[in-house]
Amino acid sequence: MTDFIASACPYCGEGVEIDIDRSGGSRQRFVQDCPVCCQPWEVEVTRDSDDDWEVMLRTADE
């Protein structure tokens, strides 16, 4: 099962939606390109104890 979480691109600031895999682990990291500016994000998805998902987007060159 997948879901989407709204976030913002760390490069161009555009609002974006991250596709998360709810059947995966409570902490997932992957690289995905921004659909707006095509820069690579380092995406970290975490699930907290309330079963809420949170997305962090970082620039991959940090």
Q: Which residues bind Zn ion (CB under 5 A)?
A: 9, 11-12, 34, 36-37
Residues 49, 55 contacting (CB under 8 angstroms): no
Number of residues assigned to the chain = 62
Q: What are phi and psi of 25, to 5 degrees?
A: -75, 170
Residue 43: CB minimum distance to Zn ion, A: 13
Q: In terms of CB distance, is 12 or 17 closer to Zn ion?
A: 12
Residue 36: CB minimum distance to Zn ion, A: 4
Q: In terms of CB distance, is 44 or 47 closer to Zn ion?
A: 44
